[in-house]
Amino acid sequence: MIALVLTATFTVVEIVAGLVTGSLALLADAGHMLTDTLALMLAAVAFRIGEKPADRLRSYGYQRFQILAAFANAVALILIVAWICVEAVLRFLSPTAIAAEGMLLVAVAGLVVNLVCFGVLHSGGHDNLNVQGAALHVLGDLLGSAAAITAALVIIFTGWLPIDALLSVFVALLVLRSAWALLQRSSHILLEGTPDWLDVDAMCAALQTRIPAIASVHHVHVWGLTQENVMLTMHVVLRDDCDDPGDVVRQSKVLLAADYGIKHSTIEVEAGRCADR
């Protein structure tokens, strides 16, 4: 909410300043900040909805809404990058006058605001894709403000107008790289992909090695509601001399939670032929 209020306020300032000074760098940064305002609103709503308890229609609850918000933010960033690149080409073909002194003042103020917002978000959740998506928007603005400052200084001292569009494209490409990574990560979770940090084969081997009653493990499925909340289902085949299947389940759950952070697991115990084969 701190980042949202600061960003929304400065968005208005930067749009007006970009129109008055004629700076594409400022307008590009204002476009980022406008989307950031919406992105931060979406992130805040996602957290609020994610806190809702599970119900009859949503047995896992609403945490996945945070991933939808991250996905939407990534798509929005990619669209903004496309818009900036188109505008930059038009500026290259037809340069316009820029009030560089006013542009510099607004860009410096924007840099300060974005530094505060990024610091707040960066400290708020390193492992949460929803926070990462919001922080990525603000990082794009931070780079945009730095580019606008650089462009203003170059124009003041050399009068070379194309630097405004050139630096806008440079910042846009930096943002595109991060936005694409965010899009891939959020899509992977939405598609129920196995967490990229988890070696499933090694996990299964650890279960068989450290719990002697387990003969084999199969039908393993691991996915995440969010990046932090990982779920697992699996079948374990017991050895013939196992006399307490319940203890095997308890040991497995303790190992999964302690070593892999998987606190929600559903384990089907089998003796002999698998019922699903």
Contact 14, 26 (CB under 8 A): yes
Q: Do 182 and 219 belong together in one domain?
A: no
Q: Do 260 and 132 belong together in one domain?
A: no
Contact 70, 129 (CB under 8 A): yes
The overall average pLDDT reported for the chain is 84
Among 267, 205, 258, 259, residue whose Cα is nearest residue 232: 267
Q: List the Cα angle 270/275/276 in 5-degree steps.
A: 120
Among 165, 20, 170, 154, residue whose Cα is nearest residue 93: 165
At residue 223, the pLDDT reads: 95
Stretch 42-59: mean pLDDT: 82
Is the per-residue pLDDT at 123 higher than 80?
A: no
Question: What string of H, E and C letters represents the secondary structure of the chain?
Answer: CHHHHHHHHHHHHHHHHHHHHCCHHHHHHHHHHHHHHHHHHHHHHHHHHHCCCCCCCCCCCCCCHHHHHHHHHHHHHHHHHHHHHHHHHHHHHCCCCCCHHHHHHHHHHHHHHHHHHHHHHHCCCCCCHHHHHHHHHHHHHHHHHHHHHHHHHHHHHHCCCHHHHHHHHHHHHHHHHHHHHHHHHHHHHHCCCCCCCCCHHHHHHHHHHHCCCEEEEEEEEEEECCCCCEEEEEEEEECCCCCCHHHHHHHHHHHHHHHHCCCEEEEEEECCCCCCC
Q: List the Cα angle 128/129/133 in 5-degree steps.
A: 125
At residue 45, the pLDDT reads: 81
pLDDT band at 25 (very low <50, low <70, confident <90, very high): low
Q: Do 56 and 106 belong together in one domain?
A: yes
In a domain, 276, yes or no: no
Residue 151, domain extent: 2-190
Q: Do 118 and 47 belong together in one domain?
A: yes
How many Å separate Cα 114 from the centre of its chain? Answer: 18
Q: What is the CATH number of the domain that holds 249?
A: 3.30.70.1350
At residue 144, the pLDDT reads: 77
**What is the reported pTM?**
0.75
In a domain, 275, yes or no: no
Q: Do 260 and 217 belong together in one domain?
A: yes
Q: Do 111 and 228 belong together in one domain?
A: no
At residue 228, the pLDDT reads: 80
At residue 89, the pLDDT reads: 87
Q: Do 135 and 255 belong together in one domain?
A: no
**Percent of the chain scoring above 90 in pLDDT:** 27
Q: Do 42 and 144 belong together in one domain?
A: yes
Stretch 81-88: mean pLDDT: 85
Q: What is the CATH number of the domain that holds 142?
A: 1.20.1510.10
Stretch 127-148: mean pLDDT: 77
Which of 128, 156, 190 terminates a domain? The answer is 190
Contact 27, 109 (CB under 8 A): no
In a domain, 195, yes or no: no
Q: Do 118 and 255 belong together in one domain?
A: no
At residue 125, the pLDDT reads: 60
> 214-222 — which CB contacts under 8 Å span 24+ positions?
214/238, 214/239, 214/248, 214/252, 215/239, 218/274, 219/268, 219/274, 219/276, 222/194, 222/195, 222/198, 222/262
- Work out how many domains the chain is built from and give that number: 2
Instruction: Pick the range with the lowest mean pLDDT from 14-23, 63-72, 83-92, 226-235.
Output: 14-23
Q: Do 170 and 207 belong together in one domain?
A: no
Among 199, 202, 258, 262, residue whose Cα is nearest residue 228: 262
Q: List the Cα angle 183/87/166 in 5-degree steps.
A: 85
Highest mean pLDDT of the ranges 24-38, 138-152, 184-198: 184-198
